[in-house]
């Protein structure tokens, strides 16, 4: 009887914990983070020296599938993040590894959306393209 009571208590605690975990998984949208939105021309001119920029498009299927994960991450991390929404004047090219070290818009472009860029001392340190690559990187930081 005592084992049955302990087993029932364990199941109750587990289901309660699982329910609380789901409650912490908010369904954010980009408008919830309007205060983090930046313009292309301000990419290198944020007050912080070290920050991430998440580049996305609301028309990008991959961005939409990844939206909840990235916005939940931004909401809980102590890292500084900004959001940059795609506009036609923002350059898209392959060879994003050539942007490493860029400190001005002249040397900056994206491989596409979604992308995650790390700037350290206002210089591009990392330029990551794609949901899988970004997701793997977020697990490390």
Q: In which element (H, E) is residue 115 found? A: strand 115-120
- Pinpoint the alpha helices (H) of 55-130: 61-76
Exposure on the CB side of residue 73, measured as CA atoms within 13 A? 21
Of 2-6, 28-32, 49-53, which range is least confident? 2-6
**The pLDDT of residue 3:** 42
- Would the pLDDT of 11 be above 80? no
For the domain made up of 29-140, give the CATH fold.
Glutaredoxin (3.40.30)
- Would the pLDDT of 96 be above 70? yes
pLDDT tens digits, 43-73:
999 999 999 999 999 999 999 999 999 999 9
Question: What are the domain boundaries of the chain?
Answer: 29-140
Of 13-27, 34-48, 69-83, 98-112, which range is least confident? 13-27
Q: In which element (H, E) is residue 17 found? A: helix 2-23
C-alpha–C-alpha distance, residues 84 and 12, integer Å: 43
**The pLDDT of residue 26:** 78
% helix / strand / coil in the chain, to the nearest 5? 45, 20, 35
């Amino acid at each position: 009887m005592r084992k049955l009571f302990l087993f029932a208590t364990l199941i109750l605690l587990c289901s309660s914990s699982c329910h609380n975990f789901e409650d912490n998984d908010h369904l954010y949208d980009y408008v919830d983070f309007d205060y983090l939105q930046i313009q292309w021309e301000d990419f290198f001119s944020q007050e912080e020296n070290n920050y991430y920029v998440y580049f996305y498009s609301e028309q990008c299927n991959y961005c939409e599938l990844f939206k909840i994960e990235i916005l939940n991450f931004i909401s809980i991390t102590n890292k500084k993040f900004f959001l940059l929404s795609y506009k036609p004047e923002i350059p898209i090219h392959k060879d994003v590894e050539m942007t490493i070290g860029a400190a001005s818009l002249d040397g900056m472009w994206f491989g596409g959306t979604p992308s995650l860029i790390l700037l350290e001392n206002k210089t591009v340190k990392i330029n990551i393209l794609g949901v899988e690559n970004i997701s793997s990187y977020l697990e490390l930081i």
